[in-house]
Structure 1
Amino acid sequence: MRHNKNILKFPSLLIFLLTGIIAFSQTNKQADLEARRQELRLEIQKISQLQAENKTKQKSQLSLIQEFNYKISVINNLIKLTNQQANLLTRDINDNQKRITGLRKELENLKKDYAGMIVKSYKNKNQQSRIMFLLSSEDFKQAYKRLQYIKQYSNHQKEQGETIKAKTIELQEVNKNLQKQKNDKQNLIAENRELQKSLEKERTQHESLMNSIKKNINVYASQIKEKQREADRIDREIENIIKAAIASSNKKAGNKATTGSSSSFALTAEEKVLAASFVSNKGKLPWPVEKGYVTLAYGTQPHPLDKSLTTQSNGVRIATEKGSKVRAVFNGEVSRIVLIKNANPVIMIRHGNYITAYKNLSKVYVKEGDKVTTKQAIGEVFTNPMDGETVLSFTVFKEAKTENPASWIYKM
């Protein structure tokens, strides 16, 4: 009989465990969404702050379009995320309302049973009736069992009282959580309304700007192509420098068979350790500037101004504030300070067989051969006096091939 009772209890236990797991999973998901929401809000604040700092400068139309596109995409992402949070809260609210209904029913039954026990105890509370109940036993064994029954009944009463107390507290807690969830949902809905207004404002300005640009689309298309040619020229120069450094490392190591043809650095034991450490920190490296946002992502993509034009970026472009210090993203050695004709200085830092390049600098604080540490200031980003733009170009190389910086930099 005991075995059958356990079988009956098992589904209830399973349901309880599954409910707990689902609730824990939803709580974790809500926490993740909230963390991401705060990140996006901070991102919008950074963009607005940088826009405000540079509002006195006459920015180029192309830069303004990039700013609008990026800000609109971030606002869109934030709207989607707040909708996800609101939907998840709706499910949580519904679950808690069901749970409250179940707890109230359970509490009602517990109180009913407890009231019945109290009445029964009151009728049998006479000490003499208990003694008579024991003395009327047929033998000692029966008397002992009756004594145990009296004790168990008394303990059961206490347990029932404690259960009622615990369930009451649980009900109060669920009610409190429910109210908080309802308030959180209302706040998210209100925030979403404000975001929709902000998005509409940004889109209106974007559309107005696009209409004025379309009147001179050929002029702007020519500027885009010229910028791309200039970026390609600098990238080719850096790539040639890296290839020469690879050949030099092989020659120094005595790899005669591969000198001039190898595509990989000949690493020392120390450089191998540094490269391994660099790789182990992939996705966790700090940003090369303290404040900023990406205006141009890695890879080939259609230009926001004219979809028939494409931009090829071997790294990322990061808009930042005037006077921003450039920081080394990891420990390494300054392999080159590159001075290219009609371009601003470039710092190249080697991390074993990986290289990080920091382009468009106005000041350089380090020299070739210097050992640098993570977050060490190595220079300052150039600010264009014509339009007030302060943009750092940042690239990650493995040997002479580029990699997406967003895969390396923390939450880029």
Structure 2
Amino acid sequence: MKSKKFYIPLLIFFLSVFSVFGQTRKQLEAQRKKLNKEIKQVNALLFNEKKKEKNALENLKDINKKIEVRAQLISTINSEAKILSKEITDNETKLKKLNKNLADLKKDYADMIFKSYKSKSQQSRTMFLLSSQNFYQAYKRLEYMKQYTSFRKTQGENIIVQTNIVKKLNDSLLYQKTVKDTLILSEKRQKEQIEGDRKDQEQLITTIKKKENKYKKSLQNKIKEEKKIVAKIDKKIKEEIARANRIAREKLKNKPKTVKKNEFILSPEAKALATKFELNKGKLPWPVSEGIIVRKFGKQPHPTFPGITVNGTGLHIVTKKGLSAEAIFNGVVLNILVSSEGRKNILIQHGNYISSYNNLENTYVKKGDKIKTGQKIGQIFTDKVSNKTKLIFVLFKNTTRLNPSSWILRR
């Protein structure tokens, strides 16, 4: 006869392995949902609006973004399907073992019932006790009969438990196979769509190559213009730091304060704010409620023209028309800069950190205003040619640019 101990280790092993794979699959499932959401955002924010003027270079950048996200989604779906295949194979093996164990338990139980039936009469039990050679043997036989009855009850319970385990695993396998079939179908659809995107990409590349010099010149002029704007912002920030430090020194007349060039002199309150800001690294909210990053931080090669480098001073985030920029942390409006085209750039000071919200059409705040986390500070400008609403978000520590992606929440 087999006891409860026979299948308990197998059950524990099954549950622990299933849990490990489940966690991995859950991560991939979350990533898949995130990428699906991002594809919807790419389509909504980059492709839904009809552009008033055709710009092959801009269109190619949008197509490249769509292909990039779709390729990530295909890779994620493929990984998830592979894990599911392994889970299904492992669970089918476990199911065979569990079914065999269940059959053994049922056989043992049937044998016990048969033996019990043969000796079920009270007379047989009495004779079994009376035939004992001594009192101790009679006692042992009585105990045996009690244990036998208890064991039979336990085996019946074990069969019920084992049957439920087998049923749950069967249901789990059916669900897993359905999920896998859905994933394979989804991957097929994504591959078909990415093929269509790549055809559009090839057509755009052909168009660009025909007028390569024109597009190159336009791009280089744009890069030069961006450098000029960046230099102006850098200069203005240095001026603001110098101005803030002059005010701070006046307040500290009897307490001379030495500080490095282009660094804020911080009051105790400003130091505390800067510390809180640092403690929230990686947890700060996005500067806009919804959007996708179309240009990352740092130097990056241009995707179409080899030898041309694009420098991302911050994050370029495309969002919905009419949305506002939102402050990522408590602070004070250091200044509001205005470009030659009339675009606004709000600089908010958080101790010795500065967050910059560029490409705004209107502002809701003024210099010196105290700002709260999440507060709307200005409406983001929508380009009338491309119909894109884009915020340029930059982060500084004193005058040093930081990678905003390391500071805001990952989406």
Q: Could you state the TM-score of these two structures normalised by the residue count of structure 2?
A: 0.92
What residue number does 1:382 align with? 381
Relative distance call for 1:238 and 1:21 in structure 2 (3 A) is farther
- Structure 1: tracts of 5 or more residues without a match: 1-8
1:26 is aligned to 2:21: yes
1:98 is aligned to 2:93: yes
Matches within 5 A, 1:318-397: 318-342=317-341, 344-397=343-396
Q: Distance in 2 between matches of 1:18 and 1:249?
A: 65
- Is the 2:56–2:207 Cα contact (8 Å) retained in structure 1? no
- Is the 1:249–1:267 Cα contact (8 Å) retained in structure 2? no
Deviations 1:262-305 (A, max 9, x none): 34322222222322222222222222222221111111111122
What residue number does 2:409 align with? 410
Relative distance call for 1:11 and 1:300 in structure 2 (3 A) is farther
Identity between Structure 1 and Structure 2 (%): 40
Q: Which moved more, 1:219-228 or 1:39-48?
A: 219-228
Q: CA RMSD of the aligned region, Å?
A: 2.3
**Alpha-carbon distance, 1:56 to partner:** 5.0
Decide which of 38, 48, 66 is 1:71's aligned counterpart: 66
The one-letter amino acid of 2:107's match is K
Q: Distance in 2 between matches of 1:51 and 1:388?
A: 9
For the residue of structure 2 that corresponds to 1:360, the secondary structure is: strand
Relative distance call for 1:164 and 1:53 in structure 2 (3 A) is same
**Alpha-carbon distance, 1:202 to partner:** 0.7
Relative distance call for 1:51 and 1:11 in structure 2 (3 A) is same
Matches within 5 A, 1:7-406: 19-55=14-50, 57-254=52-249, 261-342=260-341, 344-406=343-405
For the residue of structure 2 that corresponds to 1:294, the secondary structure is: strand
**Alpha-carbon distance, 1:62 to partner:** 2.4
What residue number does 1:3 align with? none
- Is the 1:348–1:357 Cα contact (8 Å) retained in structure 2? yes
Q: Distance in 2 between matches of 1:302 and 1:56?
A: 26
For the residue of structure 1 that corresponds to 2:36, the secondary structure is: helix
- Is the 1:251–1:259 Cα contact (8 Å) retained in structure 2? no
Q: Distance in 2 between matches of 1:113 and 1:211?
A: 76
Relative distance call for 1:264 and 1:138 in structure 2 (3 A) is farther
Q: Distance in 1 between matches of 2:259 and 2:55?
A: 44
The one-letter amino acid of 1:275's match is A
**Alpha-carbon distance, 1:145 to partner:** 2.2
Q: Could you state the TM-score of these two structures normalised by the residue count of structure 1?
A: 0.92
**Alpha-carbon distance, 1:150 to partner:** 1.0
- Is the 2:39–2:70 Cα contact (8 Å) retained in structure 1? yes
- Is the 2:51–2:385 Cα contact (8 Å) retained in structure 1? no
**Alpha-carbon distance, 1:181 to partner:** 0.5
Q: Which moved more, 1:335-344 or 1:184-193?
A: 335-344
- Structure 2: tracts of 5 or more residues without a match: none
